[in-house]
Structure 1
Amino acid sequence: MSLVDFLSPIDLEKITPKRGYYTSHLGVKIDCYTDTFPDLDEDKPDIAIIGVMEDRNAVNNSGCALAPDYIRERLFELNEGAYTTKIVDLGNIRQGASITDTYIALKTVINELIKKDILPIIIGGGQDLTFAQYLAYEDLEQKVDVVVVDSKFDLNDDSYYENIETTSESYLNRIFLHEPNYLFNYSNLGYQTYFASQDSLRVMDKLYFDVHRLGELSGQIQMVEPIIRNATMVSFDISAIRSSDAVANANTTPNGFFGHEACAICRYAGFNDKLTSIGFYEFNPAYDNNGQTAILLAQMIWYFIDGFYNRKKDFPLQPRSQYLIYKTSLKHNDHELVFVKSKKSDRWWMQVPYPTNGSKNERSHLVPCRYEDYNIAVSGEMPDLWWRTYQKLT
């Protein structure tokens, strides 16, 4: 099996500006699949861009299958940052005979890239493709932390598992109930309460998942950093951005993240040493106004790339000399909480011990946290993040 079997080349003439590119533009720096498929082994890239031309299960947003080339057109006109990029664009996955065929193709391509230590950026299509993105991790023998940026929980409260169709409004059902279960944590960034049923909120609470309202994060976007730092994969629904900043989606609404906040989220995702795939979904060129949403998406991807090439590579604890260890005790019991701070980046982690029936190889699980979590522990109280993580480890 070869990846070229799943991908079709890019028509560069279609998206290249008449004046051409400057030598500093990403359009010159990115190796694109046009005639010959790039050799991913001889000169291994760091990042691979994949377009997906699939919108059959994008609820009320038909047309988002056309997104990839519109995003490329704007991305390729941006300048390379203060680093040397090694990025390939592998072209597009076209619609399969059935939606399942598209899912299998995307799953296979992402899986192979991750095995080669190449980070895929998925552009285009409906957010139901998040399910295929998740399935790519099935045979990698690791637990997966999923972060979704969305104004809604794409969870169907009224369906039984066997009757669920995988759509942009129900793919979480398939992820949560998939067997074998390799999902460790799900986090949502930016949900809006009037779009969330009380049943879905109870599900999130029962499963100890992390869900964060737009109002909780608005104006203090730095709060998302430790949440994203824990992600194995990220799925970004463009409708999570307010319509005045990103109009190109049939389901867009007046409230949401600002454009600069979306860029910050993407840069935090790029910084994450643990992250191995990211997808940008639901952009529909038919609704774009003067290409503004395509420009914003291109800038979001640029910020992700910028974060990637500025990774600190400081996931604890090697070497130990690069970290500070802080220990605190709680008021009402003898339990000791342990925090780790990187000298390189000033980022914090919290140690959560495995229960007696937990991992035999490790004594504790490291979860990214904020300085505020340390202060809560210093005051003698148990941080909510510690408790929820411990419950998931049992």
Structure 2
Amino acid sequence: MDLDFLRPVSEDLLGEITSFDKQSLGNIIKVHSSESGIPDLEDVQIAIIGVKENRRSAGVDEFLHFHNIRSSFYRLFPGNWHIKIADLGDIEKGAEVEDTYFALQTILTQLIKKGIIPVILGGSQDLIYAQYRAFDNLDQMVNLVNIDSKFDLGDADHPISSESYVGKIVVNKPYNLFNYSSVGYQTYFNSQNEIELMERLFFDAYRLGEVTSNISNIEPIMRDANLVGMDLGAINATVLGGGYYNNSPNGFDGKEICALARYAGISDKVSSFGIYEYSVDYKSIGNMLVAQILWYFIEGVNYRTNENTVSAKNEFVKYQVPIDDDVLVFFKSPLSGRWWIEIPFPVNVNTKLKRHTLLPCSEGDYLEACNQIIPERWYKAKRKNEI
């Protein structure tokens, strides 16, 4: 693997690790150091990467670094995990922002092809564009889930920024995006034009109150995601202890944001996870929360059931529900108790879409179908397959 873009973790931080408990994460994970170089990745399942790029964010830290996050994370103890973790260090700012995108995309593509899940620490959220472009050569359609108070669609005719990268994902070739889901949006931060555009594109949007009233409803959304991005601005600013340029009194609390991270980790499909809009001005409580978000994502990965396989699906229990002129076909896993619904697609459809024939759903979707209510996500996915 060509990982020349990466710079090692600082010597100061490595010195700190020596004072941590021997069973802490800092003394267990493999770390890229100037002395030992990039660690052997043969048995690694998760790789942490910092990206010091924030030139297209409204909140720019001139000297962005991730020392405090790493220090907080390294102090934590692992759960009863069987996976191996590596910290590959940082990608420095390129001469141009596009150079940083290229470096990140190149590294992520290599890691994903090797079956390693990259966890990105950013940096401005427009880095999701590079995170998404890492799938360009993987011959599949992509589902993107964004935990954010804003849609970040922006104007595709304007230069990319931390609030307009989704528009570029939609219009720029190659067209790999199948679905975009915004989790935790707050209406007053989004124009009506963007809200209407989300509907016209059959994208999914879940308001903050809708999510927090029953956060388990987001599990099927995460289960269908290939990559997940998280804007730390979606978190209540008081929970982070200040330091964020867009201080908002509303947002997810610590327990809720960690639950979403765990849902992302436990999804068999999620193959990259990014945490963006970090500020070096966070107090210790904010750094510890970001460290715990990392911890819960890894905890989720550890408990994956690998139900995203043909052999696993052969064991599912099948249910058929007639509604009007359609027959909705549901499947339930006897192993995990999770539900899926079948999405019909026309003959001669793009072969990339065949992987979307089973759409994750909840038992509530099945019960509503029994009451002759068609699940909205099923309708949207069906329409996208027909376009």
- TM-score tier after normalising by the smaller chain length: over 0.9
- The one of 347, 362, 387 equivalent to 2:379 is 387
Structure 2 residue 257 is matched with structure 1 residue 262: yes
Structure 2 residue 88 is matched with structure 1 residue 114: no
Q: What residue is the counterpart of 2:221 in the other structure? A: 227
1:67–1:123 CA contact under 8 A, matched in 2: no
Deviation of 1:169 after TM superposition, in Å, equals 1.1
Quickly say closer, same or farther: Cα 1:237–1:373, change in 2 above 3 A. Answer: same
| 2:116 counterpart letter in structure 1 | I
Quickly say closer, same or farther: Cα 1:54–1:363, change in 2 above 3 A. Answer: closer
1:317–1:323 CA contact under 8 A, matched in 2: no
Matched residue SS, 1:218:
helix
| Cα separation, 2, equivalents of 1:267 and 1:186 | 19
| 2:174 counterpart letter in structure 1 | P
- The one of 311, 324, 342 equivalent to 1:318 is 311
| Cα separation, 2, equivalents of 1:364 and 1:248 | 41
Structure 2 residue 344 is matched with structure 1 residue 356: no
Q: What residue is the counterpart of 1:373 in the other structure? A: 365
Structure 2 residue 199 is matched with structure 1 residue 205: yes
Q: How does 1:28-43 map to 2 (within 5 A)?
A: 28-34=27-33, 35-40=35-40, 43=42
Q: How does 1:87-102 map to 2 (within 5 A)?
A: 87-102=85-100
Q: What residue is the counterpart of 2:237 in the other structure? A: 243
Aligned length: 383
* Structure 2 residue ranges without an equivalent (≥5): none
| Cα separation, 2, equivalents of 1:68 and 1:202 | 37
Q: What residue is the counterpart of 1:131 in the other structure? A: 129
| Cα separation, 2, equivalents of 1:82 and 1:173 | 41
Deviation of 1:320 after TM superposition, in Å, equals 4.9
Matched residue SS, 1:146:
strand
Matched residue SS, 1:353:
coil
RMSD: 1.9
Normalization by structure 2: what TM-score? 0.94
Matched residue SS, 1:231:
coil
Quickly say closer, same or farther: Cα 1:19–1:363, change in 2 above 3 A. Answer: closer
Deviation of 1:262 after TM superposition, in Å, equals 0.3
| 1:66 counterpart letter in structure 2 | L
Which deviates more from structure 2 when the two are superposed, residues 97-106 or residues 83-92? 83-92
Deviation of 1:393 after TM superposition, in Å, equals 0.8
Q: What residue is the counterpart of 1:52 in the other structure? A: 51
Structure 2 residue 271 is matched with structure 1 residue 273: no
Using the aligned pairs only, state the percent identity.
39
Deviation of 1:173 after TM superposition, in Å, equals 1.4
2:156–2:171 CA contact under 8 A, matched in 1: no
CA distances 1:213-244 after superposition (whole Å, capped 9, x unpaired):
00111131111100111110001000000111
Normalization by structure 1: what TM-score? 0.93
Deviation of 1:386 after TM superposition, in Å, equals 1.1
Quickly say closer, same or farther: Cα 1:36–1:130, change in 2 above 3 A. Answer: same
Matched residue SS, 2:360:
strand
| 2:99 counterpart letter in structure 1 | D
| Cα separation, 2, equivalents of 1:304 and 1:173 | 27
2:17–2:27 CA contact under 8 A, matched in 1: no
| Cα separation, 1, equivalents of 2:63 and 2:103 | 15
CA distances 1:273-304 after superposition (whole Å, capped 9, x unpaired):
10100000111022x23x11110000010000
* Structure 1 residue ranges without an equivalent (≥5): none
Matched residue SS, 1:274:
coil
CA distances 1:52-108 after superposition (whole Å, capped 9, x unpaired):
11111111x111862422211110000011123311111100011111111100110
CA distances 1:4-24 after superposition (whole Å, capped 9, x unpaired):
x20111114236548712121
1:15–1:69 CA contact under 8 A, matched in 2: no
2:17–2:26 CA contact under 8 A, matched in 1: no
| Cα separation, 2, equivalents of 1:210 and 1:386 | 11
Matched residue SS, 1:128:
helix
